[in-house]
A = this chain, B = another copy of it.
Amino acid sequence: SDKTAWDFLPAGWTTEELQTGEVVSASGQVVFRQADDSLRSVSFPADFEPITQLESARVGIITAEMERVAERETHLSPAQVRDEVAAGRMVIPANKVHLQHQLDPMCIGRASKTKVNANMGASPVSSGTDEEIEKLKWAEKWGADTVMDLSTGGDIDGCRKALIENSNVPIGTVPIYSMIIGRKLYDLNMEIILESLQHQAAQGVDYFTIHAGVLHEHLQYVKERLIGIVSRGGSLLAKWMIDHDDENPMYTGWEQICDVMREYDVTFSIGDGLRPGGLADATDQAQLAELCTLGELTERAWRKGVQVMVEGPGHVPLDQIEYNMKLQRTICHGAPFYVLGPLVTDIFPGYDHITSCIGATSAGYHGASMLCYVTPKEHLGLPKKDDVKQGCVAYKIAAHSADVALGIPGTRDQDDELTKARAALNWEKHFELSFDPDIARAYHDEDLDVDT
């Protein structure tokens, strides 16, 4: 697609790029100079007030958060950040409430460095809020750019609140997990959905995974699979649709959901409820049918002024990763792609931080903007503190290697400095430049001949 979010403006908006003209800032009309020096004219309803980063960007405003992002992405100017956000190719997940705590604004998009998300969360049988906060700080230390709270039990509301209050990074959630606590899935309805989203948005959650792309008509394709639906949100909604013989309420209520999201500038992470759960199911009709719906939902969210990223697989053989990334970028008009791994083989449980960071590196190189980590416990159990570290390190490797391969300015500098220290046999500097100096120091034996 050569379309961008500019092609999906709200009703009553128009825009054009001007050859010549003057900068204008008036009620219902702006002309602003873009980072590439061109002029863009935008007209909109006279009473419009921007709330989200996308809306600010559309009317030419460089927000404080965009300024901060440009400081952190040293190769980008504030105007470039604004233009990427306006085009829908970049998101700044920064809930207005979370900004009042300790959130340090960051961005996700192809123009910026590749980001890493770490999952955590309390469950009914293990780990409480204190342990989750400890994992949060640990994940931040090891380079996580965002953290998802996937709590499914315990003090789920308190844990979420504590994570938001203590985090410097954006917090994402999968709100359906808490919508079904204390009630039957069957009883889920639009009122409950909106109330729950409103509650979490008011708490300060920065992005929501919402599995609105799984449609009733897609479910027929799942029968062909080896492992059906592995997304928890996707399978809950599939069951709801079957039990009610009705369409996915997240899909039918999308515009109402957008209204809640916009109020706090919560960013969408549109979930891929039909992501493949094994190599055999990758790039199948179920996945592709849902991807088309994800593209439609992207357009609809942009028309409501809400920031969007889109989630992706999962389990994908290496030869299919490049075209999967390119397909998503085409169908979803460049909206940032947020992928889970993908794992490139299924037979190494216990090592899936490695099997998946291979896929993640390729994904980052070919089109993904954020990589959701996988820990050694994937498929086996819940991650403990060291698993969080192992997952973060593997994914920092993937993200950094992709950025080096993409030639993002400055990304290889530290590699080159370390190479020079290695050449000079300057061990102390070698350790200091290492991502994990303590491990490098511990592994260093006196018997090493660096020239071997």
Residues of A within 8 A of B (CB): 123-126, 150, 152, 226-230, 232, 235, 277-281, 317-320, 344-351, 354-355, 357-358, 361-362, 365, 376-377, 379-382, 393-394, 396-398, 400-402, 404-407, 412, 414-416, 418-420, 422-423, 430-431, 433-436, 439-440, 442-452
CA distance A430 to B318 in the complex (A): 22
In the complex, the chain B residue whose C-beta lies closest to that of A433 is B347
What are the 8 tightest A-B residue pairs by CB atom distance, in nearest-first order? A381-B445, A278-B419, A350-B439, A318-B405, A319-B405, A227-B423, A380-B443, A346-B415
Residue in B235, B349, B401 whose beta carbon sits within 8 Å of that of A451 in the complex: B235
Contact assessment for A401 and B280 in the assembled complex, using a CB-CB cutoff below 8 Å: no
Residues of B within 8 A of A351 (CB): 393-394, 397, 435-436, 439
A358: min CB distance to chain B, Å: 5
Residues of B within 8 A of A422 (CB): 227, 277-278, 346, 379
Residue in B126, B345, B381, B416 whose beta carbon sits within 8 Å of that of A400 in the complex: B345
Contact assessment for A350 and B440 in the assembled complex, using a CB-CB cutoff below 8 Å: yes
In the complex, the chain B residue whose C-beta lies closest to that of A126 is B447
Q: Can you report 26 A-B residue pairs in the complex whose CB atoms are below 8 A from each other?
A: A125-B447, A126-B447, A226-B416, A226-B419, A226-B423, A227-B419, A227-B422, A230-B450, A232-B452, A277-B419, A279-B415, A279-B416, A317-B405, A319-B407, A345-B401, A347-B400, A347-B415, A348-B435, A350-B440, A351-B393, A358-B401, A362-B362, A376-B443, A380-B444, A382-B445, A382-B448
A77: min CB distance to chain B, Å: 25
Residues of B within 8 A of A281 (CB): 419
CA distance A357 to B317 in the complex (A): 15
**Other A-B pairs, 6, CB within 8 Å; known A232-B452, A355-B397:** A125-B446, A277-B419, A278-B415, A318-B402, A345-B415, A347-B433
Residues of B within 8 A of A278 (CB): 415-416, 418-419, 422-423
Residues of B within 8 A of A345 (CB): 397, 400-401, 404, 415
Residues of B within 8 A of A319 (CB): 365, 405-407
Contact assessment for B380 and A440 in the assembled complex, using a CB-CB cutoff below 8 Å: yes
Residue among A281, A346, A382, A431 with most chain B CB within 10 A: A346
Residues of B within 8 A of A381 (CB): 443-445, 447-448
Residues of B within 8 A of A442 (CB): 350
CA distance A418 to B398 in the complex (A): 26
Contact assessment for A436 and B397 in the assembled complex, using a CB-CB cutoff below 8 Å: no
Contact assessment for A418 and B346 in the assembled complex, using a CB-CB cutoff below 8 Å: yes
A222: min CB distance to chain B, Å: 11
Contact assessment for B414 and A347 in the assembled complex, using a CB-CB cutoff below 8 Å: yes
> In the complex where A397-B348, A415-B346 touch, is A404 in contact with B452 (Cβ < 8 A)?
no
CA distance A317 to B361 in the complex (A): 11
Contact assessment for B419 and A280 in the assembled complex, using a CB-CB cutoff below 8 Å: yes
Contact assessment for A380 and B280 in the assembled complex, using a CB-CB cutoff below 8 Å: no
CA distance A242 to B318 in the complex (A): 45
Residue among A347, A354, A405, A442 with most chain B CB within 10 A: A347
Contact assessment for A404 and B152 in the assembled complex, using a CB-CB cutoff below 8 Å: no
> In the complex where A227-B420, A381-B447, A420-B226 touch, is A434 in contact with B401 (Cβ < 8 A)?
no
Residue in B280, B349, B398, B452 whose beta carbon sits within 8 Å of that of A416 in the complex: B280
CA distance A276 to B113 in the complex (A): 26
Contact assessment for A354 and B397 in the assembled complex, using a CB-CB cutoff below 8 Å: yes
A350: min CB distance to chain B, Å: 4
